[in-house]
Structure 1
Amino acid sequence: MKETSLDIKDLQLNALLEVTQAVNNNLPEDDLLKIYKFTLLADLKINKLALYTEQKEGWVCRVNFGTKNDLIGNPLPDKYLKLKNEIGVVETSFDEFDSVFPVYHKSKLLSVVFIKSDAKLGVQNRFLNALTNIILVAIENKRLARQQMEQEAYRRELEIAKKVQNFLFPKELPKIERLQIEAFYLPHHDVGGDYYDYIQIDEHRFLACIADVSGKGVPAALLMSNFQASLRALVRQTKDLLEIVTELNHTTFVSGNAENFITFFAGIYDFKTKSLEYINCGHNEIILKSGSTIELLNDGTTVLGMFDPLPFIDTQQLNNIDEFFLFAYTDGLTETFNEKDEDFGFDRLLKIIKQDCPKDLSHLHDEILKVLNEFKGERAFHDDITMLSCLIQNK
């Protein structure tokens, strides 16, 4: 009897050494579970075992042997999640098993283990619990380390995206007598997929634009940064809006793998000819106000990046306009919801714009945000919000 006890202790010591070495060697999770399984089979004379851990899909069986049916992937009955953190096995009515014990790390439940053994566990019970604890704590530490690495990688990616996005927007916007431009940008996440720009073409002409990419976060910001770089390069080569948009569509189609699209509005105003040429690529209705007249700029083509070539495309030109106000925005503005699940909508926005022609564009944006915040109440914004206002006084 004494010899048997010594043999068991020797087996237990060897098992602990093997498991500890495997942990120190940083073996993958599946390998650690295999070592655990074969250790129990060879050294502890356990006939049947099922080990359950928490996964994305819930508590499921990860290690199983000896049972009539394969339990891998089977869910754990909820009642076993309430087992107390005590060393010792508890009798169970679970099919084919006679004992169950929980494995805790501090106050967190890591696993629930079901066993059946012909031999009386006795002092082996503590060893079984310790062995399981070592394996599962090692796996938990791996998970936490992996999670930390992923978070760190995302943080670095986010920092890069922020720096890239800072280059998207113009550093200065004109605020002179004949031309005032004001912009407001509120990203939903740390980085967003909205974009606006002002590009001076020559002494008489400038381009103003606004865009919104499908998707959120870092991927959207990076796709939009590529779009901005392409636009600025194209404007240096040509002033033809049809040509610019056709090439932008191709670039977006390739960069986004036809899975992401961009809505886009661009207008080129010529102070010399007093004309505005524009194209709307699936973007929201752009509001142009001249005196008391409101015109919605909708014509152009469909969203960019979904079809190559575009199924249709055209530009529109407005002539003999020397004093007007243009307001562009992204759908995060009109699709803001209140506590009754109503959206802010275009009509509420238009009601504000229909007031007297603004002299202070920044004040107009503040007024819109004030009304918007009062409308949404406690509801959070769910998308990026961008506004771009342009006031022309070309007398």
Structure 2
Amino acid sequence: MFPEKSKRRYLEEREQDLNDLFEVSSRLSSLTNYESIIEQVLLSLMGRLMIQKSAFMLIAGEVELQLIKTKGLDDSLEGMTVKYSDLPESFSPVSDLNDFNPLKEFLIENNIEVLFPLIRKGSILGILGFGKRLLGKKYENEEINYVSSLLSLAASSIENALIVADVKRANKGLDRKNQELQTLFELGKELNSTLDLDVIVKQFGYALMGQLMVTKFLLYLKTDSSFELFHSKGFTQEHIEILSPYVDQITGLSEPLLVRNKKNELQNALRQANIAALIPLTIQGENRGTLCIEERKGNEPFSTDDLQFLHTMGGQAIISIENARLFKESLERQRLQEELNIAREIQQGLLTSDFNIGSEWKVHGKNVASLEVGGDYFDVIKLEDGRVALVIADVSGKGAGASLLMSNVQASLRALINIESDLGLLVRRINEILYENTTADKFVTFFVAVLDPISRKLTYCNAGHNPPLRFSETGEVTTLEEGGLIIGMMPGVEYETETIEIVKGDKIVMYTDGITEAEDKEEVEYGEKRLIDHIKRNLQLSPEELLGSIVDDVNNHAVDLSSQDDVTLLILET
């Protein structure tokens, strides 16, 4: 039992501890930066416990801790990571750690003697290590309890601050992607408004400067059998001559290349010519040009996101460049029809031809334009997380104008599909950009679905498109209608999504209205009922065979399919 005087003092000390905890808690709750919170915790504890050295670490991976803040240690340690095999769940001397734990060696080298875990809801977020106390005083139970209590309060504030930091980083990244998407749309409008090669290259240069602060670049383009320097801005003839022996290597890339301090002949030449990155300009996997760029203003290094954006923007530019070159050639030969046929080939090349999405799945698509080029669009996109996006769309109108708008829709979708996981928000963003950048008579019916081949779940959004037909193995038919208004008509439209499970034997048939609205000589439409009946009779066919049989049946019905609307089909089977 305590003597009365000692008991009173003990209670006073504990009361003071509670007051101190309350005061520190109030200060922590006002902070939103986790580094500031950790700084406050260290200042509060080190003065109280008379400690000169400390290290605050947060878990940065399954077996790694990151050193966030130190006191009395080498400042260069902050930011480094340290591996660990296990962490104490309560106050522990460093000497008690397992000898095979790599964390122990690091702590001993830096004179850290004891550890306190940072715990939130039963999970360890990090650890706080202290060096030797002045006068060599040992930790009393009350002191250990105080530190543990303070860290419990801090854990909640730190966790919240980390969440805030993550959200800020995500928002910053999203703002950047939105800006990049807007740039793509603006550039697309400018490029699609002209067939003058000089104007296209100039607009592309403006986009490089405006978005990435790049003022110097070289553009190599493919001619009939080789690559030639098409445009140079800011580079001297000496730089160009340095690169001359390496043109085949420079233009033979399939992915963007960031020039680093690697000791090989090509990289040495690129550095000597002040080249910071190489961007292949591709159409359907074929390299049609290469963009060579110098460091941006301020010498800020290019990130992986920068290279991906340059690749997308370059892909958009090369399509316009190719269109302009083809048009110029056709004018020179005064054969406009031939140019339109080539444009059709380019457009068909933009439609996916890779239908391999896994051994348990079959997919096939086809587009038949009523004119040389058209406004129908389908795509099969393999996403970075292993899922697959299936897309079909129908742009209002026909011909070159519709095909240009289709190209913008495709570029926008591919730029955003790996960024925005919510299909409803994805479609809403594309709608907003289309509305702001097209006239009132331009709109698109649009259907997008994302398939998880592992879970067999398919999430879709239908923006005013003909509802795709889902056929079970027994011939039962359902339609995929959840979504909203066609895109490009009005701003602020909300879009709903639905998730369904695809079972063995299911077929999903996506089509444009060129199928159901094809008319015979009596102006009778082919219709959805005839389409459903035809598919039911041919459910045993593969997607490719079924697609061919549908087109044949529509052709048999229609007077002249080439004089009517574009026809597009995309069929999925498991």
TM-score (norm 1): 0.57
Matches of 2:529 and 2:333, distance apart in 1: 42
The structure 2 residue matched to 1:227, chosen from 399, 409, 412, is 409
1:324 aligned partner:
506
**Alpha-carbon distance in structure 1 between the residues aligned to 2:339 and 2:492:** 32
Report the aligned-residue RMSD. Answer: 2.6
Is 1:161–1:221's contact at 8 Å kept on the other side of the alignment? Answer: no
Q: 1:299 aligns with which of 469, 482, 485?
A: 482
Quick one: structure 1 residues 374 and 248, their matched pair in 2 at CA, closer, same or farther if it must change by over 3 Å? Answer: same
Shift of 1:152: 5.0
Distance apart, 1:373 and its partner CA: 2.1
Q: Is the 8 A contact 2:458 2:499 kept in 1?
A: yes
- Separation in structure 2 between the aligned mates of residue 352 and residue 343 of structure 1, nearest angstrom: 15
C-alpha distance after superposition, 1:26-70 (max 9, x if no partner): xxxxxxxxxxxxxxxxxxxxxxxxxxxxxxxxxxxxxxxxxxxxx
The 5 Å alignment of 1:19-30 reads none
Distance 2:544 2:458 in 1: 23
Which structure 2 residues correspond to residues 1-395 of structure 1 after superposition, within 5 A?
Answer: 152=334, 158=340, 161-162=343-344, 164-174=346-356, 176-202=358-384, 204-292=386-474, 293-310=476-493, 312-319=494-501, 321-355=503-537, 357-377=539-559, 381-392=563-574
SS at match of 1:374: helix
Alignment partners' CA distance in 1, 2:358 and 2:450: 18
Bigger fraction of residues in helix = 2
Deviation at 1:218, TM superposition (A): 0.6
SS in 2 for 1:350: helix
Listed one character per residue, the Cα deviations across residues 157-180 of structure 1 (whole Å, up to 9, x for unaligned) are: 746743652442113211753111
Tell me by how many angstroms 1:321 deviates: 3.6
Larger fraction in strand: 1
User: Secondary structure at the residue paired with 1:272?
Assistant: coil
Query: Counterpart in 1 of 2:10?
Result: none
SS of the aligned residue for 2:379 comes to: strand
Using the alignment, how far apart are the partners of 2:382 and 2:389 within structure 1? 6
The change in CA–CA distance for 1:353 and 1:168 in structure 2 (over 3 A counts) is: same
Determine helix, strand or coil for the equivalent of 1:188. Answer: coil
Counterparts in 2 of 1:214 and 1:157: CA distance versus 1, 3 Å: farther
User: 1:264: how far off?
Assistant: 0.7
Structure 1 vs Structure 2: percent identity of aligned residues? 31
Gaps of 5+ in 2: 1-329
> Residues 225 and 290 from structure 1, CA distance in 2 versus in 1: closer, same or farther, beyond 3 angstroms?
same
Q: In the aligned structure 2, how far is the partner of 1:338 from the partner of 1:320? A: 35
Q: Aligned equivalents of 1:332 and 1:224: distance in 2?
A: 16
The farther-off stretch of 370-379 and 293-302 is: 370-379
Change (3 A) 1:150 1:320: closer
Contact preservation (8 Å) 1:208, 1:268: yes
CA contact (8 A) 1:193 1:214 kept: yes
- Cα 1:271–1:380, aligned 2, differ >3 Å: closer, same or farther? closer
Contact in 2 for aligned 1:268/1:278 (Cα 8 Å): yes
**Residue type matched to 1:332 in 2?**
G
Query: What is the TM-score with the length of structure 2 in the denominator?
Result: 0.40
**In 2, Cα distance between equivalents of 1:153 and 1:357:** 45
**Structure 1 351/246 Cα, relative in aligned 2: closer, same or farther at 3 Å?**
same
Residue range with higher mean Cα deviation, 161-170 or 245-254: 161-170
Judged with a 3 Å threshold, the aligned counterparts in structure 2 of structure 1 residues 317 and 358 are, in CA distance, closer, same or farther, namely same
More moved, 259-268 vs 350-359: 350-359
SS in 2 for 1:209: strand
CA distance in 1, matches of 2:430, 2:333: 33
Checking the alignment, whether the CA contact within 8 Å between 1:286 and 1:327 is kept in structure 2 is yes
Relative to 1, partners in 2 of residues 1:303 and 1:246: Cα closer, same or farther, differing over 3 Å?
same
Residue 247 of structure 1 and its aligned partner are, at CA, apart by: 1.1
Q: How many equivalent residue pairs?
A: 244
Please, which moves more after superposition, 360-369 or 298-307? 360-369
Query: SS at the partner of 1:178?
Result: coil
- The range that moved more, 163-172 or 270-279, is 163-172
Matching residue's letter, 2:516? T
Q: What are the ranges of 5 or more consecutive residues in structure 1 without an aligned counterpart?
A: 1-147
2:558 corresponds to which letter in structure 1?
K
Question: Which residue identity lines up with residue 309 of structure 1 in the other structure?
Answer: G
Q: Residues 291, 264 of structure 1: CA spacing in aligned structure 2 closer, same or farther, 3 A cutoff?
A: same
1:100 maps to what in 2? none
**C-alpha distance in 1 between matches for 2:520 and 2:395:** 24
Conserved? CA contact 1:161–1:222, under 8 Å = no
